[in-house]
Amino acid sequence: MGEIVFIALAVGTTVGAGVVAFSKNIVYSAFALLLSFFCVAGLYVFLAADFVAATQVIVYIGGILVLILFGVMLTEKIEKVNISNQALKPFRAWILLIVSGGILIAAIVKTNWITKAPLPPTPTTGELGNAFLTRYLLPFEIASVLLLVALIGAIIAGRKEVRRK
Partner 1 sequence: MANVESLRYFLPELLLTALVLAVFLVDLGLKRKKVPIATLMVVGLLVSLYAVLKTPGAEGVTLFLGMVSLDPFSVFFKVIFIVTAVLVTLFSMESDEVEEKNFGEYMGFIAATTLGAVLLASSNHMLMAFLTLELVSVPCYVLAGYISRSRRSSEASLKYVIFGAASSGLMVYGISLLFGVTGSLSFEGIRDALSAGNPGEIIVLISLIFILAGLGYKIAVFPFHMWCPDVYEGAPTPITAFLSVGPKAAGFAVLVRMLHVAFSSSDGAAAYLTDISSVDWPFLVAIISAATMTIGNLLAINQSNIKRLLAYSSIAHAGYLLMGVVALSQLGTQALLFYFVVYLLMNLGAFLVVLNFRSQTRSEQIGDYTGLAWRSPIGAFVAVSMAIFLFSLTGIPPFGGFIGKVYLFASIIQGERFIWLAIVAIANSVISLYYYARIIKVMFLRGIDAEDLGGFVSSPTTITLLTILAVGTAVSGIFWGPIARWVSHSASLFFG
Q: Which residues bind partner 1 (CB under 8 A)?
A: 103-104, 106-108, 110-114, 134-139, 142-143, 145-146, 148-150, 152-153, 156-157, 161
Please report, for residues 10, 54, 58, 100, 159, the alpha-carbon distance to residue 51 in angstroms, rounded to integers and kept in the order given. Answer: 20, 5, 10, 33, 35
Task: Identify the three-state secondary structure at position 112.
Answer: coil
Q: Which of 13, 40, 18, 38 is nearest to 29 (CA)?
A: 18
Minimum gap (Å) between residue 158 Cβ and partner 1: 10
The Cα–Cα gap between 60 and 133 comes to 24
Minimum gap (Å) between residue 1 Cβ and partner 1: 26
Nearer to partner 1 by Cβ, of 1 and 114: the residue is: 114
Nearer to partner 1 by Cβ, of 4 and 119: the residue is: 119
Minimum gap (Å) between residue 143 Cβ and partner 1: 6
Minimum gap (Å) between residue 34 Cβ and partner 1: 20
| Phi-psi label, residue 44: left if phi above 0, alpha if psi -120 to 50, beta otherwise | alpha
Nearer to partner 1 by Cβ, of 104 and 123: the residue is: 104
CB neighbour list of residue 129: distance below 8 Å, 6 or more residues apart: none
Nearer to partner 1 by Cβ, of 80 and 160: the residue is: 160
